[in-house]
């Protein structure tokens, strides 16, 4: 795992090559091998200096999450993180110079190895990334990152890398002081060797091990640093509402650890790491953000017997915001795109939508003008269905109107090849009903993209009753080609994501109808760590849109439609008050012309407050548990798998990752507690809070979803 080579000038080269993993990672075996190699170099009198580098495309990618996932107690945590922390401290106090020759990305533990070395040289490659991203999966750097980086570049400059997981390319890392030199990749090892052979004697003593050490930018106790800590604490609480412990633990490491010597600081770091590594929130984040996400992105559920499909040219029917966004995404993925609408002007307007996005990227230096021009050249606006004849896939993205969708389906199928896929981007209308007009239902599938399509990463692939496994597999291939994360769901009204997510705004409106104070509803929503409080979210989505969905459901279900608690609110807001949401400047909030928003003071006039108000925890439970209950019903009905339910909630509507997704929340809360809470709520609302039998069976047998 660590190749050891000593040359005649006394330069030892330790080369990382963890061949049994896709990338160089820190695990028990590789840490042990690195420890052995470092000790060998330190103890060999013939070694004058040591180069640490890699023979893989990356330097070291970080810790092996398989190791961290299995930590159950503090002792295991110390056994996991202690060895690498100790050998890096041994390395930097060995009185022999170590230089990191950074040939590829050094993230997490990889960068911590570099920070412990006495000199850092990075290859001049803009694709290289250096950073400490542990916070993004609920952890903290446990090999000295929270102690060395602030001592190296200062507390203020270090905090964004630690608290936000910020990454830097070589040029920015050099500017920040994270590395000492940037050289052409062909000169990396020779320059590292040259530094070792000419390194001054004082280079082997780190600044923080000298008596005259001073923190760059000010000591931790200085007024400026104290102000930074206070500001960071307040900002963290606003962002996390106390739900994500990793940023808090990192800040504690920096605040406490930087006021003592580095050896004590490293002990503080180890203890805070143990607190995180054993916490449910970190376990949840590692599972959903790494393991589940990787499975979804590598199409783990794809029918294996179907050959992989490649795509060259697609068509999009409808050049509105969704169709235009999809055209942009597909063109940036290298696909030719036919963008069809009822008029050439409408189609051209859709292309212009993508052009505006690209212009912004050029202005920010993210892409070149040639990339912009090439992408735009792939999009061909048209009104002619004959242009669909050589397309591999057609995506219908017209209005949520069955008659319009039926018309474009017939026209498209008259032109497309037999092997082409026809996909409807409907968000609520069952695929089975839409496919009744199709002459080829086996090649008819739902592909529900989320708005705006150019930003939202999720796509629901909906299997209709007649959809073939081949079509599902190829739809998954397409999702991967355009860099979307797919989940597969079975057909039902609103499918999975809209059905489960709707409980969040619906429950807020239900409570409003009951007389719950809207300020209480919104504050509870903020405390959940959902992206927005629920009434503000309804305004963003549009009150009118939810009203129209209700009207459509009534029309579809006829006499079987059961009036829902939120219906009264929607009817009052739209029909009586004409408050349609943010788009009109009037919804649950008022939106003054100078910006901002403020809850409409007239809400209490139309929805009087009840005498008894629930506590904030009751409101929070209702907002969150209602989503999980609906997701559990979807699993029980065979609509969605457990993994896809969680991934869909995370990417589709921003369900908090610290809970592990919408079903992860059930495991985190605990079935007995959740069932008891829902049974209590079911006394008032039996249909909404009726606990599905699957949960009672799981509780009885002690099973969990994960």
- What pLDDT does residue 493 have? 85
Residue ranges of alpha helices (H) inside 637-670 are: 642-653, 664-669
Phi and psi at 580, nearest 5°, equal -95, -5
**Enzyme catalytic residues:** 112, 134
- Rounded Cα–Cα distance for residues 173 and 317 (Å): 45
| Separation CA 636–CA 628 (nearest Å) | 12
Length of the chain: 706
**Cα separation of 120 and 176, whole Å?**
13
Q: Which of 342, 365, 337 is nearest to 354 (CA)?
A: 337
Long-range contacts of 63-66 (CB under 8 A, 24+ apart): 63/25, 63/26, 63/27, 63/108, 63/109, 63/134, 63/142, 64/21, 64/25, 64/26, 64/27, 64/30, 65/137, 65/286, 65/290, 65/291, 66/27
CB 44 within 8 A of CB 94: no
Contact 138, 243 (CB under 8 A): no
pLDDT on residue 559? 87
| Sheet strands side by side (includes 119-123) | 2-6, 11-16, 49-54, 98-102, 119-123, 181-183
Long-range Cβ contact pairs of 578-587 (< 8 A, separation 24 or more)? 579/543, 580/542, 580/543, 580/544, 581/538, 581/539, 581/540, 581/541, 581/542, 581/543, 581/544, 581/545, 582/539, 582/540, 582/542, 583/542, 587/538, 587/539, 587/543
* pLDDT on residue 237: 85
Which of 87, 483, 426, 504 lies closest to 299, judged by CA?
Answer: 483
DSSP state of 493: T
* DSSP secondary structure letter of residue 587: S
Integer Cα distance of 52 and 521 in angstroms: 55
Taking the model in full, what pTM does it have? 0.90
Domains of the chain (ranges plus CATH)? Answer: 2-278 (3.90.226.10), 313-492 (3.40.50.720), 499-638+670-701 (1.10.1040.50)
How many other C-beta atoms can be found within 10 angstroms of the C-beta atom of residue 1?
A: 20
pLDDT score at 451: 87
Successive 10-residue mean pLDDT values, the chain, 706 residues: 94 94 92 96 96 96 87 88 95 96 96 97 96 95 96 95 96 96 96 94 93 90 89 87 92 94 96 94 94 95 94 96 96 97 96 95 93 96 96 94 93 95 91 94 96 94 96 97 97 91 96 96 95 95 91 85 92 96 94 90 94 95 96 96 97 95 97 94 87 94 95
pLDDT of residue 595: 82
Which residues are bridge partners to 66 per DSSP?
none
d(CA 461, CA 448): 6
Contact status, residue 197 vs residue 9, Cβ threshold 8 Å: yes
**DSSP 8-state secondary structure symbol assigned to residue 581:** B
pLDDT at residue 141 in the model: 95
Whole-number pLDDT of residue 360:
94
């Amino acid at each position: 795992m660590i190749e050891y080579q000593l040359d005649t000038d006394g330069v030892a080269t330790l080369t990382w090559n963890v061949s049994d993993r896709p990338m160089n990672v820190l695990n028990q075996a590789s840490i042990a091998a690195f420890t052995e190699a470092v000790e060998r170099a330190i103890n060999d009198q013939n070694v004058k200096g040591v180069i640490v580098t890699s023979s893989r495309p990356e330097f070291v990618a970080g810790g092996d999450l398989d190791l961290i996932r299995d930590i159950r107690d503090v002792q295991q945590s110390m056994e996991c993180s202690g060895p690498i922390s100790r050998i890096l401290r041994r390395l930097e106090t060995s009185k022999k110079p170590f230089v990191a020759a950074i040939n590829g990305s050094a993230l997490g533990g990889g960068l911590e190895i570099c920070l412990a070395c006495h000199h850092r040289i990075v290859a001049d490659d803009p694709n290289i990334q250096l950073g400490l991203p542990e916070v993004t999966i609920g952890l903290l750097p446990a090999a000295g990152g929270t102690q060395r980086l602030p001592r190296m570049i200062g507390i203020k400059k270090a905090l964004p890398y630690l608290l936000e997981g910020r990454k830097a390319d070589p040029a920015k890392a050099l500017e920040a002081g994270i590395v000492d030199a940037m050289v052409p990749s062909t000169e990396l090892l020779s320059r590292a060797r040259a530094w070792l052979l000419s390194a001054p004697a004082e280079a082997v003593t780190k600044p923080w091990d000298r008596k005259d050490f001073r923190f760059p930018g000010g000591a931790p106790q200085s007024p400026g640093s104290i102000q930074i800590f206070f500001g960071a604490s307040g900002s963290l609480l606003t962002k996390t509402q106390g739900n994500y412990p990793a940023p808090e633990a990192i800040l504690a490491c920096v605040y406490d650890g930087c006021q003592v010597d580095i050896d004590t600081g490293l002990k503080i770091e180890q203890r805070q790491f143990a607190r995180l590594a054993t916490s449910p929130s970190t376990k949840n984040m590692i599972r959903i953000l790494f393991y589940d996400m990787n499975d979804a992105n590598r199409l783990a559920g794809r029918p294996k017997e179907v050959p992989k499909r490649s795509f060259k040219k697609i068509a999009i029917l409808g050049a509105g915001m969704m169709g235009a966004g999809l055209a942009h995404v597909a063109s940036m993925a290298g696909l030719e795109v036919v963008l069809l609408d009822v008029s050439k002007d409408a189609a051209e307007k859709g292309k212009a939508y993508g052009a505006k996005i690209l212009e912004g990227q050029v202005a920010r230096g993210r892409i070149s003008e040639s990339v912009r021009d090439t992408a735009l050249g792939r999009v061909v606006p048209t009104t002619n269905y004959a242009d669909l004849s050589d397309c591999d896939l057609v995506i219908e993205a017209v209005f949520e109107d069955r008659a319009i969708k039926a018309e474009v389906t017939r026209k498209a199928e008259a032109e497309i090849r037999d092997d082409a896929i026809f996909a409807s981007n409907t968000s609520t209308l069952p695929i089975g009903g839409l496919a009744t007009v199709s002459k080829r239902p086996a090649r008819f599938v739902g592909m529900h993209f989320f708005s705006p399509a150019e930003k939202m990463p999720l796509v629901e692939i909906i299997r209709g009753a007649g959809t073939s496994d081949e079509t599902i597999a190829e739809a998954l291939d397409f999702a991967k080609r355009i860099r979307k994360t797919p989940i597969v769901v079975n057909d039902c009204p609103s499918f999975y994501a809209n059905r489960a997510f709707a409980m969040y705004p619906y429950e807020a409106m239900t409570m409003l109808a009951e007389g719950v104070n809207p300020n209480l509803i919104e504050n509870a929503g903020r405390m959940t760590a959902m992206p927005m409080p629920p009434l503000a979210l309804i305004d963003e989505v549009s009150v009118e849109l939810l009203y129209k969905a209700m009207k459509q459901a009534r029309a579809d279900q006829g006499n079987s439609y059961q009036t829902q608690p939120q219906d009264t609110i929607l009817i009052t807001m739209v029909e009586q008050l004409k408050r349609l949401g943010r788009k009109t400047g009037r919804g649950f909030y008022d939106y003054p012309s100078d910006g901002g928003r403020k809850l409409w003071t007239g809400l209490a006039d139309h929805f009087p407050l009840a005498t008894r108000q629930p506590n904030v925890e009751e409101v929070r439970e209702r907002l969150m548990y209602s989503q999980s209950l609906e997701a559990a019903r979807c699993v029980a009905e065979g609509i969605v798998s457990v993994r896809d339910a969680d991934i869909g909630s995370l990417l589709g509507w921003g369900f908090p990752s610290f809970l592990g997704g919408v079903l992860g929340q059930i495991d985190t809360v605990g079935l007995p507690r959740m069932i008891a809470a829902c049974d209590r709520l079911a006394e008032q609302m039996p249909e909404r809070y009726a606990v599905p039998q699957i949960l009672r069976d799981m509780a009885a047998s002690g099973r969990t979803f994960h």
